[in-house]
Each structure stands twice: as C-alpha cells, then as structure tokens.
Amino acid sequence: MAPRIVVDAMGGDHAPDVAVEGAVHAARGGGVSLVLTGPEATIRPLAARLAGGDAALEALPIRFVDAPEVISMDEQPVSAIRRKKQSSILVGLRLVRDNEADAFVSAGNTGAIMAAATLVLGRLPGVERPALAALLPTRDGTTVLVDVGANIDVKPQHLEQFAIMGACLSRAVRGIENPRVALLSIGEEEGKGNELLRGVHQVLKRAPINFVGNVDGKDVFSGHADVIVTDGFTGNAILKSCESLVKELYGLVRREIDNSLMARIGVLLMGPTLRRIGRRMDHSEQGGVPLLGVARPVFIGHGSSSVKSIRSAIRAAATFTERRVNEAIEEGVRQLGVVAPEETSAETRDAVATGNARKVRP
C-alpha cells in the first residue's frame, strides 16, 4: 500500500493555495495517497479547481478531513494548540495517531507542530528529546545536521540520541551503511570547546556509532561527515544563515547579470548548466525537515514553501515511511541501553578513561 500522508492545507505563508497545489501535484505523481486537513468548504473547491474539475479531483488519491480552525504562523505555540483542538495541525496529527494515515506534513507554525506532534503522537520509546534534522548538500552527497531548531538547551545524552537518530536517517535515506558521525565544535581537536563539549565528546566516543571526532563549521558542507550533531540553537543559526546566504548570492548574481548585455547572452548559453546548479542549491528539492524521535513520521516545511517544496516534503515523508526510519531509530536508541550518563558507575568511568567504554555496554 502506498504511504498515506496527511498534508496540512493551512500550513505556510501562502496557504492554502500552495499547500493544496503541492498536494495535487504529489497525488498526480503517484506512489502516495493523501489526506488534506483544513476548512473543507475552502480547500475542496480549491483542490478541484487546481486538479482541473471535480471529476479530475475524484480520480486523484486525495481525501479531505474537515478542520475548521487555523493556527497562524506567528501564534504562540503552546496556547494555540491548547485552544485550537480542531485546527488543521491537530486534526491531521490525530489521523496519524489513530493509524488512518502514516505521516504528517506541514509548512505551518514550527513551534506549534513540534509541540503538538510530541503531545499527540508521543515520543519513540527511549527518546528524550525529538530533534529536527536537515539534509545539507555536499560535493558528493548529503550531510545530516541535527538538531536544527527543536532544542536550545541540550545535555550530552541528548546529543548522543541525536547522533543515533541522525545515523538512522543517513542510513535509511542515503543508503550509507556505517555513517560517519561528528560533533560540531570550534576546532577539530578533542580538547577544544567548553566543558559541555568535552563531555559530549566522551559520550559520543563510547556510543554505538561510527564517531569520527570533532569538526568545525567549515566541514558542514565539505562532506567529511555524514552526520553532524549540535544543539538546536547553533544548528538553526547555521541552516538559516546558509539559506539566507544562498538567497542573497542568487540575488547578487541576478542583479549583476541584468546590468550587462554580454552577461545576459552568456547566461543564455549556460542555461542547462545553470539549471543543474540551481537544482543542487535549491532547498525546495528537500522540501521539509523531519522531526526525529516522535512516534510517527512528521515533516516540517519552511513557512515560505513553494508548490515544489510541498511536493518534495510529501515525497520525503513517503520515503521516510517506506524505509521504516522510525523502527531503526527505536532499535538504535534501545541499544544505547539503560546506562544513562548521570548513572555512570565507577566501572564505566574507568572503562571510559582506559578507552574500553564499549565493553560495559550490554
């Protein structure tokens, strides 16, 4: 059976138009069946118009579930999900919880989606903190950066879990057997950074992952690691500043080219090459970031998502479901065992000191 994906029709700066059009495109593309949540009286006629009529819509694997309330992009998340039980976000997540669908996709209020997903779906067994994972393009592949915004304050064991979850994602989505996991630091040497970072380094060293040590910012796009773990504040700052840099560079290049006839002719000749470059740079190819660690697949898109972004996020959620990433995360976190860092015994500490940490793991 094709994965059944709920799409929040009211999520994003250009909802419902963009979200609904993205869903129609994804439905036409095949391989998924979709559920749209939102005020049905609005979104059904819109979908029919975008699909090319009622009959054409009927032929697509899309159904509608009415959700009369809307959580806006800038609403305070916790109070919004408390007040708006019939919002497109909560109605959609309950469908996934009740197994009427497999995954949830929204370009809406990130804070509200994260809080609601944790509340309605719950966390995978053993996961302490769900985290957002971004797939960043590198020269030859993709680096998973986690967390990119769910957790500002983190403890070493949270980063250990981010590492496990990121590795599962890298393995499932990119087919990398034994992903190289690195810790973002301010220098590559183990001794650099503050006390927290040194503590995390020790925890990651003995975790059941392929830990390759510290990297710094210059390795985010170099491909030296398949997974880079950091706190959600730093990860968010990296992701957003890099997105903003690409956008500004694109604008700069456009303005400079527009100022020169020769350059405009040059661009015509470069057409196919530029389109290939654009595809690799375009974040909408990715579409959305998964919220790792909640019990069912949840993808969150940019507020400014385009039709293509929504379609890509639906595609990514389907792949995540089909490749059973959550099952892998659950197994990975289970293997971390019950020895939480705070409960580390003297034996474990000795083992860490002598580099034999793995021996004390079950």
Positions that interact with its own copies (CB under 8 A): 74, 76, 111, 138-139, 149, 152-153, 184, 186-187, 189, 191, 193-194, 197, 216-222, 230, 232-234, 236-249, 251-253, 256-257, 259-260, 262-263, 265-274, 276-277, 280-281
Nearer to its own copies, 175 or 218 (CB): 218
State the Cα–Cα distance between residues 194 and 313, nearest whole angstrom.
Answer: 37
CA 262 to chain centre: 41
Min dist CB 137 to its own copies, Å, is 8
Min dist CB 195 to its own copies, Å, is 9
Q: Both tokens of residue 246?
A: 């690409």
Task: Return the H-helix or E-strand segment holding 301.
Answer: strand 298-301
Min dist CB 83 to its own copies, Å, is 17
State the Cα–Cα distance between residues 103 and 311, nearest whole angstrom.
Answer: 14
Min dist CB 233 to its own copies, Å, is 6
Min dist CB 87 to its own copies, Å, is 20
Min dist CB 199 to its own copies, Å, is 13
8 A C-beta contact, residue 126 and residue 336: yes
Q: Which residues contact 26 (CB under 8 A, 6 or more apart)?
A: 5, 7, 32, 34, 310, 311, 314, 315
DSSP letter for each residue of 196-215: HHHHHHHHHHHSSSEEEEEE
Min dist CB 79 to its own copies, Å, is 11
Does the CA dihedral 357-226-247-76 come out positive or negative?
Answer: negative
Nearer to its own copies, 21 or 226 (CB): 226
Nearer to its own copies, 48 or 257 (CB): 257
8 A C-beta contact, residue 57 and residue 48: yes
State the Cα–Cα distance between residues 313 and 307, nearest whole angstrom.
Answer: 10
Tell me which residue of 94, 137, 186, 179 sits closest to 284, measured CA to CA. Answer: 137
Tell me which residue of 179, 178, 175, 172 sits closest to 318, measured CA to CA. Answer: 172
Q: Both tokens of residue 124?
A: 């995978």
